[in-house]
Amino acid sequence: MNLQFKKPNPKTQLAMSKLAKGEINEDYHKIAEEKILKFTRHNFSKLVNSGNAAILASMNAIDGAVLIPDQGAWNGFKQIANFLNKPLITVKTNHGLIDLELLQNSINENKDLIDFNDENKKSALFLTSFTAYTAEQDIKSISNLLHENNILLVEDASGAICDSSLKLANGSYSDIIIGSTGSPKIINVCDGGFISTDDNSIFDKSRLLLKTSKTSNITSCGIATEIEFAQTNLDKTINACNYLKKELSDDFHIFHKDRRGINVILQSDNPKQLSYKLRQEFTLDEHGMITKCPNYNRLKEKAVAIEIKNIDYPYLEKNYLDEIISILLKYK
C-alpha cells in the first residue's frame, strides 16, 4: 500500500519559501513564541533548534533529581540526564502509563534523592503526553500527586501540542511543556523545538544553552504557520487511531485500546517477522511507519507499532484506514 509521509501544510511550505527568497521581511521568533503560549496557556516560551535542545535546556534548570517512566517515553530523557549528571529515578509504569500508586512508591523509595520542602531544589518527572505515542497519560492526576510531593512535571508534548480536549499540553497542569517541531511531529516543520513555562528563571539558568540552540527565522516562520493547523491535524490523527483500535481489537491484542493516541501498538509473538512483513506492505515514500518493540520509546513488550502519526493527513480518510485494516488482518 502506497501512503505518503507527513509533510508541512502547503501554506507553511509557501510561507517558509517566501521568507527564504526574501519576499517577506519579518522576524517570526516572537510571533511563534506567542502562538505557542496561546495553546499551552503558560506565560513564557522560547524556541530552540530541536526537541532534544528543549529537553537539555529544561533539564539543566532542574536542581533536584530527574524521574522518568520505565518505558514509553523518549530515550533522550535518560541520555541527557546522564550527560548532565542528574540523579535519575526510573518509575515503574503500567505499560508506559504512570500509575499513581507506583509513582508514589517510587517517590517514597527515593526519599534520599528528592527534597520535599526546598522550593529551590525541586525534582522533576519528565514524560511524554502520550506514552509510546499510543495512550494519553492522566496528566491532571499525575500533576496533582507530583505537586503534593514538591516535584515538577515536565511534559514532552511533541505529539500532543494543541490538544483540543485541553487534557494534554496544558500549562495548568504541566510546569514545563517542551516539544520537537521536527518531522513527523504535530507542529511539523522538519526542524526546531520549543519550551513553555510560567517560571522564566528556567531561561536564566539555561541562558548559555539557549544561546547555542537558537532557531532560525525560517523555522520560526514554519512554527508560527504550522501551529494553526496543529489542532485539526492532531484531532484527525487521534480519530484515525480510535477507529483503527476499535476495528482491530477483536483480532489483535492492542495496547491501551481505549485511550487516545497517535499510533496503534499490536502485540505479536514474533515482532521481528511481523515488522519485516509489514514494512513490505506499507511504504511511506522513503520513510517507515513500522516500529519493532521492545523499544524504550514505545513499549518494552513483544509488539509492533503502526505509526499512524507518520502518515500525511489526506491519507487518514476512512477508505485508506479500511485498506490498512484489511492488510493488517492478513497477519492476525
- Which region, judged by CB under 6 A, interacts with ligand PLP, from 49-57, 201-209, 216-224, 252-260? 49-57
- Which x/- pattern over 286-325 shows residues binding ligand PLP (rule: CB under 6 A)? ----------------------------------------
Minimum distance from CB of 9 to ligand PLP (Å)? Answer: 19
H or E stretch at 131: strand 130-131
Q: Which lies closer to ligand PLP via its Cβ, residue 288 or residue 320?
A: 288
Q: Which is nearer to ligand PLP, 71 or 248 (CB)?
A: 71
The DSSP line for 273-300 is HHHHHHHHH-EETTB--EEEES-TTS-S
Strand partners, 126: 154
Residue 102 CB, nearest distance to ligand PLP (Å)?
21
User: How far, in Å, CA of 235 to CA of 257, rounded?
Assistant: 17
Q: Strand, coil or helix: what is 182?
A: coil
Q: Is 180 in the site for ligand PLP (CB under 6 A)?
A: yes
**Nearest CB to ligand PLP, comparing residues 72 and 171:** 72
Mind giving me the DSSP string for 32-70? HHHHHHHHH--SEEEEESSHHHHHHHHHHT--S-EEEES
- When CB distances to ligand PLP are compared, the closest residue is 51
**CA-based nearest residue to 28, from 185, 218, 189:** 218
One character per residue 110-129, x = contact with ligand PLP (rule: CB under 6 A)? ------------------x-
**Is the separation of the CB atoms in 324 and 283 below 8 Å?**
no
Give the shortest CB-282-to-ligand PLP separation in angstroms.
Answer: 19
Considering beta carbons, is residue 40 or 180 the nearer one to ligand PLP? 180
Q: Which stretch binds ligand PLP (CB under 6 A): 46-54, 80-88, 95-103, 251-259?
A: 46-54
Q: Which of 262, 208, 257, 237 is nearest to 316 (CA)?
A: 237
Which span sits near ligand PLP by CB under 6 A: 45-53, 87-95, 100-108, 203-211?
45-53
Counting Cα atoms < 13 Å in the Cβ hemisphere of 4 gives 9
- Measured from the CB atom, is 19 or 80 closer to ligand PLP? 80
- Enclosing H/E stretch for 325: helix 318-329
Residues that bind ligand PLP (CB under 6 A): 50-52, 74, 76, 128, 156, 158, 180, 182, 193
